[in-house]
Amino acid sequence: MQQAPAAVAPAPATAGQNATNATDAVSRFLQERGLLSQAQLESNKFLSSVRDTASDLVLSAMNFLGVPYKRGGNSIDSGFDCSGFTRHIFEKSVGLVLPHRADEQARLSSLMPIKQDELKPGDLVFFNTMRRTFSHVGIYVGEGKFIHAPRTGSAVRVEDMREAYWAKRFTGARRADLGSAVDASTLLR
C-alpha cells in the first residue's frame, strides 16, 4: 500500500508565505503522483482549479492511493469497491452520504448531471464496465484523470479517462452541491 507523503512542519511564515507554502505542498503532491507535469506547474493552470472544496475532496481521495480493492468494501480496513470508495470520500470529506451502489449514486436526485466537457475536480464520473450503464464510478481529479477502486486484485489508483478503454465506456458525470453539503455537515455537529 502506498502511503501519502509525510507532512513536514513548516517554519513560521507570514500569511502570504503560508499561502505559497500550501500551494507548493499541493504542487509537490500532485507532481509526485504524476497528476501535474512541470509545464502545468509552471503555467499554474491546473493549480487554479485545486483551491476549493472539491480540491480538498480530491486531495482526501489521494490519501487512499494503493488501498486494495474489495468487493462490497467501504473502509480503509476492509478495502474499497468503486462505490464504497466514492461514498467514503464524500462522507468523510464533505459530509455527503451517497448510496453504496454506483447506479444509485448516478440516479441520486441531489446530484446534478453534467457534460463531460464541463467536468471539474470532485465530480463523480460513471462508466459501463459490466454491460450496464453506471456500473462503475470514480472521482474526477482534473486534466482528464480520475481516481477509483478498479477491480479485484488491484488497488485505488488514478487513470486517464481519455484512454480507449475508459473513453468508450464513459456513461455520464454528476456534480454535488458541495457548498450545501459542507453547510449541512456543520449543522450536524
pLDDT digits (tens, 9 = 90+) for 41-64: 565 554 554 445 677 889 899 999
Q: What is the band of 9 on the pLDDT scale with cuts at 50, 70, 90?
A: very low
Q: Report the alpha-carbon distance of residue 164 to residue 169 in Å, rounded.
A: 9
| 138-to-120, 135, 184 alpha-carbon distances in Å | 13, 11, 23
Comparing CA positions, the residue from 124, 135, 138, 125 lying closest to residue 178 is 124
Whether the per-residue pLDDT at 24 is higher than 90: the answer is no
* C-alpha grid cell, residue 137: 464510478
Q: Which of 136, 145, 157, 174 is catalytic?
A: 136
pLDDT digits (tens, 9 = 90+) for 136-174: 999 999 999 999 999 999 999 999 999 999 999 999 999
Catalytic annotation on 88?
Answer: no
pTM of this structure: 0.71
For the chain, domain boundaries: 16-51, 52-187
Q: Which of 30, 36, 61, 82 is catalytic?
A: 82
Give the domain 52-187 fold: endopeptidase fold (from Nostoc punctiforme) (3.90.1720)
Give the full edge-to-edge strand order of the sheet including 170-176: 111-114, 170-176, 124-127, 136-142, 145-148, 157-160
